Structure 1
Amino acid sequence: MMRAWTLPMLLVFSGSVVAAGQTLKGNPGMAAALLLAFLALAGATSPLIFPRSIGAEEAQRRSAVDGRPIVFWRPGCTYCMRLRIRLGRSARQLHWVDIWRDPAGAAAVRAVNDGNETVPTVVVAGRPHTNPDPGWVREQLSPSA
């Protein structure tokens, strides 16, 4: 759990230090702008922008029932953020599994990626797809939407 928040906390701390330095130099406007930029980066790299994660076993069970894809992801992954942002509201229709929180999810990803934890790995109808195009993933939602 803590590993997912390391980068966001580091960004908030760094932004605070940089902003304090700018304030001491007499640049409060620049300090505020830099702090806001660091806070935005911290928010973007945090688990908060992703729908609530579930375990791999639960995701597989739900996917078998409703046919929706499963997305294996991890916090801080730029490709996962790209997928999440490009999917927009339709991201809520997917089953999200955080591989840093779920050892079974990490094992499932390693099993289909030659032992690597390469994410995002999207499983559609039992077939894994590593780092697929977000448009393609959105198309996979059409039949079940």
Structure 2
Amino acid sequence: IFDFLSKELVRLQEERKIHAFVMLAERQRRMREAEESGRRQVEERRRQEEDEIFKQAGEGDWWDCGRLVVKVHQSTIDSYLEDIILSSMENTAEEQAREEIQRMAVEVNDIAYEMESRYVIERHIRGCLQQFRTCLTICFCGYVYNLRHGKGRAILFVISSLA
């Protein structure tokens, strides 16, 4: 009989341990369910708030920026796009102006070079004519005097100087 009672006692103790483990597991399960339920309620409340915000949007669009919802009015969008267009127009105009200035600078440079070339040729011709004038002094009386050689002689016709 003692053997039977001893085995029954061990069985009852094991049964109590199992029951305690079951109770502990059930308690932990209820706590996890409560936490999950709390998270679901918070999430549901947030969804309802967002739905209400979107329903109240009469004008403009709503943009979700993370947790923040921002209302963007059409006038704000228009002014933003207008700023972008104006800045791109200014950049394009500046670029075209630079290209036009560079083209005009090349033209002016070519014209200046051509004028300088003509001026050099003209100066050279004038220099030659000046040498010719200084070389000969022509008198209307028919006497020619050569400045280079310091000699003069009489001629019968009149030589006029080149002007």
Which category describes the TM-score, using the shorter chain as reference length?
under 0.3
TM-score, scaled relative to structure 1: 0.24
Whose radius of gyration is greater, 1 or 2?
A: 2
The structure in which a higher percent of residues are helix is 2
TM-score, scaled relative to structure 2: 0.22
Higher relative contact order (CA 8 A, sep 6+): 1
